[in-house]
């Protein structure tokens, strides 16, 4: 009898331990989503998408990135590592590496090959350039590699970096219309992925085309359909509805779906199929699914934050999220999954739109910046000392500087003086100033947290607020200003109480918070500052 009681006690303790973690963690990143969109489009959202997450979950109203540059790859890496580029090493989407002396892409890995029906280059990707562990890595370690981790996105970087080093799979979209992976993860795609690709689920969206999701009167939060601040979708005659996607597809490839809301729909379908076929959340060993919706970024860059196209993309995404939540409820169970939603960065207003409304700013063509730097160098030193300018980083050709006997410190000062005469420049920082930061300079702190001395430049330039180093239409991002740093963070589901916080928080708090909530080790680079509100179980 005693043995039976001890056995039952042991079984009950195991069950209680299993309940200390959800069956599934779902991380959703919406590329280029400003917190403002949850306010501006609120009246037109359904009660079952974003509003459900906010009404029943916990909303951080004042969440920010705490480094520069605010780009996609550093954003995804920072969310999942709980640290910044100075530690995790992903200092841009692509960047000129000082140590390598050449440009590199964040997930480039020539040692691996494409798996699936993609081009050779599209699959030469892995997380090897990520220098810290992710929360997904720590889950794999904590479960003795029994918990599954799968990452997915239309973008390779949006799939690979969140999934971490130990993922079972990461999948991303090829211009062939297929979701692909790399030999880093396996020798062949799972059968269910091959089957999904063969169904060509993108084609019905392309054949139907893109028209407004709701009556045109709904879109009164946006500028008129045809306005001077929008770019043109795949050389369309004008940026107006309806869009003939079939014609664009015939002239290009399946990649055109990325720049429509339907890229998000396709990814959600793929995510639900992954949950089904990989049996995510089916046992008491926690799994982790990372989903990064990228179409919002493509549409935002091209057409801008005030376009009807962008609003339509978010209204459709709201519906997609609502359907995804219903699917999770049915397959995993309402009380069995922990979900968070955030963004990898936000985005600026179009500078010409601001200028036309009497704010004295403008877009600056990066090519003009580079030409000005080179012209100044030749005029001052008789040599082109500019090795590279990108991501607000200026690199000098130190071989020429050394061979000509120039003093590097005087070269830096000369370029600083020149740059400070440029209309868009607010401050210029040297490597020495960045590494010696005392914490007293607010914006220098952002640069310091985003700076890796083995990879970044000799000078880093801070532009004035609202100036954009970009083309005249659409928008961009990358700065430490609030329009680029202020993003939503919504927690929902397993042991998450309803509430909201207006206190300023940082994106690097997400990963350590999840670690504490599901009782696994912190990612190894994090400062381990947590969101205590989410740790207070309901």
Q: Can you tell me the distance from the alpha carbon of 165 to that of 27, in angstroms, rounded to the nearest whole number?
A: 16
Q: Which residues contact 432 (CB under 8 A, 6 or more apart)?
A: none
Secondary structure letter of residue 486 according to DSSP = E
Q: Exposed/middle/buried for 105, CB within 10 Å: 0-12, 13-18, 19+?
A: middle
Strand pairing of 505-506 and 58-64?
A: parallel
User: What span, in angstroms and rounded, lies between the C-alpha atoms of 428 and 404?
Assistant: 25
**DSSP secondary structure string for all residues of 158-223:** HHHHHH-SS-SEEEEE-TTS-EEEETTT-SS--HHHHHHHHTTTHHHHHHH-B--SS-GGGGTTS-
What are residue 102's DSSP bridge partners? 97
Backbone angles phi, psi at 379, to 5 degrees: -65, -35
Token pair in block for residue 511: 């990963």
Helix (H) or strand (E) holding 114: strand 114-115
185 closest CA partner among 203, 168, 209, 201: 168
Nearest one of 208, 78, 62, 61 to 130, comparing CA atoms: 78
Angle at 163 between CA 301 and CA 264, to 5 degrees: 40
Tokens of 334: 């309402």
What are the Cα distances from residue 522, in Å, to 82, 136, 317? 9, 10, 31
Which residues 6+ apart lie within 8 Å of 294 measured at CB?
Answer: 31, 153, 154, 155, 158, 258, 263, 264, 267
Helix ranges restricted to H, 212-357: 245-251, 262-277, 295-303, 308-331, 351-356
Residues 411 and 396: their CA atoms lie apart, in Å, by 9
* DSSP H or E run through 290: strand 287-293
Which residue in this structure is represented by tokens 């089957």? 195
Q: Which one is catalytic: 72, 114, 430, 473? A: 72
> Is 72 assigned a catalytic role?
yes
| Gap between the Cα atoms of 341 and 53, Å rounded | 9
Residue 327 neighbours by CB distance under 10 Å: 15
Minimal CA–CA distance to 222: which of 71, 36, 362? Answer: 36
Q: Could you tell me which residues are beta bridge partners of residue 491?
A: 58, 340
For 128, the token pair is 């090897």
Q: Which residues are catalytic?
A: 72
């Amino acid at each position: 009898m005693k043995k039976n009681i001890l056995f039952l006690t042991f079984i009950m303790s195991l069950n209680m331990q299993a309940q200390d973690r959800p069956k599934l963690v779902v991380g959703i990143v919406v590329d280029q989503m400003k917190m403002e969109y949850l306010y501006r489009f609120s009246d037109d959202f359904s009660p079952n998408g974003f509003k459900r997450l906010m009404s029943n979950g916990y909303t951080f109203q004042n969440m920010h990135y705490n480094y520069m540059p605010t780009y996609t790859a550093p954003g995804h890496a920072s969310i999942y590592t709980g640290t910044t580029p100075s530690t995790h090493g992903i200092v841009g989407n692509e960047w000129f590496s000082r140590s390598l002396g050449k440009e590199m892409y964040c997930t480039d890995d020539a040692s691996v090959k494409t798996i699936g029906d993609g081009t050779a280059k599209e699959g030469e990707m892995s997380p090897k350039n990520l220098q810290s562990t992710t929360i997904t890595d720590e889950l794999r370690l904590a479960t003795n590699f029994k918990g599954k981790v799968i990452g997915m996105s239309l973008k390779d970087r949006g799939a690979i970096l969140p999934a971490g080093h130990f993922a079972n799979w990461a999948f991303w979209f090829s211009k062939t219309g297929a979701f692909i992976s790399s030999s880093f993860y396996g020798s062949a795609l799972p059968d269910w992925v091959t089957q999904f690709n063969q169904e060509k689920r993108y084609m019905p969206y392309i054949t139907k085309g893109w028209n407004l999701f709701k009556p045109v009167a709904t879109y009164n939060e946006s500028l008129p359909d045809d306005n001077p601040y929008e770019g043109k979708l795949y050389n369309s005659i004008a940026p107006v509805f309806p869009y003939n996607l079939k014609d664009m597809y015939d002239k290009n490839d399946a990649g055109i779906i990325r720049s429509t809301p339907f890229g998000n729909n396709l990814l959600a379908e793929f995510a639900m199929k992954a949950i089904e076929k990989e049996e995510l959340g089916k046992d008491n060993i926690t799994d982790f699914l990372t989903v990064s919706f990228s179409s919002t970024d493509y549409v935002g860059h091209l057409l801008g934050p005030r376009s009807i196209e962008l609003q339509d993309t978010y209204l459709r995404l709201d519906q997609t999220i609502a359907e995804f939540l219903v699917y999770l409820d049915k397959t995993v169970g309402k009380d069995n999954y922990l979900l968070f939603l955030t963004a990898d960065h936000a985005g600026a207003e179009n500078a010409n739109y601001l200028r036309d409304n009497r704010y004295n700013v403008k877009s600056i063509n990066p090519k003009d910046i580079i030409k000005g730097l080179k012209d100044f160098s030749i005029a001052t030193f008789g040599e082109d000392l500019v090795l590279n300018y990108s991501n607000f980083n200026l690199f000098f050709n130190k071989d020429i500087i050394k061979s000509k006997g120039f003093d590097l410190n005087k070269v830096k000062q000369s370029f600083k003086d020149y740059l400070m005469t440029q209309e868009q420049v607010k401050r210029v920082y040297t490597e020495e100033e960045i590494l010696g930061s005392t914490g007293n300079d607010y914006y220098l702190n952002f640069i310091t947290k985003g700076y890796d001395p083995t990879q970044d430049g000799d000078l880093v330039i801070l532009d004035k607020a609202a100036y954009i180093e970009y083309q005249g239409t659409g928008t961009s991002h990358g700065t430490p200003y609030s329009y680029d740093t202020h993003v939503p963070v919504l927690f929902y589901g397993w042991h998450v109480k309803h509430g909201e916080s207006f206190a300023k928080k940082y994106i690097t708090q997400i990963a350590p918070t999840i670690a504490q909530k599901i009782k696994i080790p912190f990612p190894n680079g994090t400062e381990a500052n947590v969101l205590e509100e989410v740790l207070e179980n309901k």
